[in-house]
Each structure stands twice: as structure tokens, then as C-alpha cells.
Amino acid sequence: MTTHCSRMAKRTGYAGISLRSPCLRRYSSSCSQAVPKEPTFRPFSVDVPPQASREPPAPSSRLNSLKDARPFSSFLTDTFSRQHDYLRISITERCNLRCLYCMPEEGVPLSPPEHLLTTPEIVYLSTLFVSQGVTKIRLTGGEPTVRKDILPMMQEIGKLRRDGLRELCLTTNGISLHRKLDSMAEAGLTGVNLSLDTLDPFQFQIMTRRKGFEAVMKSIERILELNERHAAGIKLKINCVVMRGMNDQEILPFVEMGRDKALEVRFIEYMPFDGNKWSKGKMFSYQEMLDVIKAKYPGFEKVPDHKNDTSKTYRVPGFKGKVGFITSMTHNFCGTCNRLRITSDGNLKVCLFGNTEVSLRDMIRQGNNNQPISEDALQSLNLLESARQAARAEDEGYPVNERERELLNIIGAAVKRKKAKHAGIGILENMKNRPMILIGG
């Protein structure tokens, strides 16, 4: 068991923390004065001696792995041969901010609790999608940290690394992240996208209609501290939506955050969603942002992008950090899109800008008298084991539960209907879609 777990940790490369790494130390809010504890960190829920073997897998094991390897699931492959190995799950509609571009000023009507996915349902869907080749899961909202059971949820999803999950990420506004961050790191958190649109505390209140700037900065510093002192390996990206006349004058201060900090600031073109009063005049384009930065830093240079990146990445020579641009409006990246989204009420969206959705929640609940799946129902219906067995759904003659087979057919049909790209400026602003907060970004 020890050797197997060591090999699995190496194959997945999960969280950058080996089986022999010490636990990320817990600190109080005044980090510098706290006394660290050193419990043994165990990335899997199995007993692993602290001196686990670091020997490479035996040749026979490698040959067996290659022999058992299967093509990427056709259920998650669209008609343009895009393989969707990245799943974004919105786990709540609630948020503790009211950002101008995300939520209408009057708020949004919240769904009844019974309409939202339960934690067992989220874990089940995560297991099913990982069985088909998903390697990255991102939890979004609303604001995911306001969900009371987010930590046990992340612990359960984190266990899917043994089934092929490589990244477990979070998109957050950072208000309460610092209070839960250490436990999330222990659960396997590998990446944080933190939304911050201004570095001015007063402007922060205008853009979010709430206070909380200091708490956000505290979360940023805590992530950097965990990475620098404890090798937590949490990729930090700061997402900034640029709005003309609102925060476009702060582009350079954001760039300069990366002078001595290992983070990436990503500037996002303002996008239209229901209720956010988008107009073309408010949008500050990618080219305009580039012009502002290059006027100050002529050496600002492009760096190679990774496959499926949504952002165009640059760097200022000599800076530790990077700068990215998400250009959904002027230079879409649809051709390499590998993302699927599940809304908090259980609908599958194959495109952020599309208004076509299909309910997975209703299909899951059919076997439970159309009632929400509880922890007891998860066990009694043997859902997790059935979801894992669905990895063989395309193997001829392999017995896969009819529930999972039908669910995969629904998912596959939705993926096959995915368009080549979104329509672009002139069409998107007229398309009826959910407010951003009810999609999950």
C-alpha cells in the first residue's frame, strides 16, 4: 500500500506536496506570533508510513498502466474534437459582495434550498466526470467560501486524485478565504483565482458595494506565505475586470504587484451578462491595456501560452510575477475551449455565453424518488462506486449501471451540440443569459 500511494502521488503530481511533506502549519490570524503545529500531512485517506518509498514504479507496473490506458471519453469530446477535461462547479448562489459587473444592484432571487445541489450530489458528479477524463475541477459561486460545508466537500473531491484528478481550484473574492485557507491546502487545493478590481480601499467599496478590502489583502498575503514558507504550491491569479472610467487608471499598479510577488495578474475585458448594464463604451480593450503597459514598460513581452489557456500571458523583464489578458470580447479563445460548467442548481452549461442548459440534478434524483441526495442516499444507492465504474462505459460488454449510462448520454449529447465559438460583440450583449453570479464564471 505504501509503494502504491507513493507512485500514485508521483503520477498525478497533485498539489506539489509529497507523501513525506510535513503538514502545512496552522497559524492564528496574527501569523507571525502563532506557534506552529506539526501533524503528519497525509494526502490520501490511507495509512502511509512517513518514510514512504521514493523508488520509481517497476517496469511491469508501467506496462500495465499503458495497457490499461483508454482514449479520452467521447462523451466529453465535441464535434470540433475539443476534449473537455476541465469542470467548473458553482456550489452556491450566495455572495458577500455585490460587484457591479456580476450582480444586479437589486440582487438576484435565490433558488429554494431543495433546488440546489447537495454536497453528495456534487461529489458524485465530480466522480463521474473524473471517470471520463476530467483532470481539473474548480469550485465557484456566488462566493464558494460562504458555503458552510465547503471544507468536507473539498476533502471528498480531493480524494479523486487517486482516480486521475490533478488540480482542485477555487475562484473567490478572498473576503473569508484566509480563515479557511490552511484547511483547504490540506484538502488538496492547488490554485486560487482571486477577484480584485481595485487597490484603493475606497474604490473597493464603490465597485463591490461592500467593505472588505483589508480581508482580501490578508488572503493574498497568506497564500504567498504558504507558498514561500511551506511549499504549498498554490497557484495564485488575481482577476481584475477593467471598466473604462472606473478602474482603468489602476492597470499599472496591478502590474507592479508582480514586481516581487510570485503571482499572475489577469486583466479581463468587461463582458455582458444579465443585469450588469454592459455597454461597448465601458469596455476597455486588450489592445488599450497593452498600450498603457508598454508605454511604461517597453520591454513588456509575450511568453508562451499553455494549451487551453484562456489568457494571453506576458511578463515585465525582472519581475517575479506575470500578467495575463482574458480577451473574451475582442479575441475569443473558443477554439481551444476545454471547459464545462455545472450551475449551483445542477444544470450543465457547455459555453459560458450560451443560454442552453440541461439538468443533471433531475436525472440524479430520479432514483431517489426525485428527492435531494443525502449522505445516506449516496451510500444506499452506491453512487460513488457506480460513477467510478462508468470509466468503462465505452468498453463493449462492460456492465455499467443504467443510471450512469443514461446520464453520460445526456452529457455527451449536450457536449456534441457545443458551437464552434461565441458570437462576439454586437450579438453577445443582446443574448439572454443568467447573471454572472448564477453561472459561476
* Complete domains list, the chain, with CATH: 80-339+421-438 (3.20.20.70)
Residue 108 has pLDDT above 90, yes or no: no
Percent of the chain having pLDDT more than 90? Answer: 65
Q: Looking at residues 239-262, what average pLDDT do you find?
A: 97
pLDDT of 151 higher than 50: yes
End-to-end CA distance of the chain: 40
Question: Is it the case that residue 417 has pLDDT exceeding 50?
Answer: yes
238-257 average pLDDT score:
97
Instruction: Count CB atoms within 10 A of the CB of residue 414.
Output: 20
Distant-in-sequence, close-in-space partners of 72: CB < 8 Å, separation ≥ 6: 83, 85, 133
Task: Kindly state the cell numbers that stand for 77.
Answer: 469530446
Beta bridge partners of 349: 341
Q: What is the pLDDT of residue 307?
A: 81
Per-residue pLDDT band at 277 (split at 50, 70, 90): low
Kindly give the interhelix angle for 119-131 and 402-416, rounded to the nearest 10 degrees.
Answer: 70
For the cut 90, the answer to whether the pLDDT of residue 294 exceeds it is yes
Least confident stretch, 45-54, 357-366, 400-409: 45-54
Q: Provide the whole-model pTM.
A: 0.81
Give the 3-state secondary structure percentages of the chain, helix then strand then coil, rounded to 5.
40, 15, 45
- b/e map 355-382, b = 16+ CB within 10 Å: eebbebbebbbeebeeebbeeebbeebe
What cell was used for 25?
Answer: 502549519
What amino acid is encoded at 61 in this protein? S
Q: Which pLDDT value is given to residue 239?
A: 97
- In this prediction, residue 104 carries a pLDDT of 73
What residue type is assigned to position 50 of the chain?
P
pLDDT at residue 19 is higher than 50 = no
Q: What is the mean pLDDT of residues 207-230?
A: 97
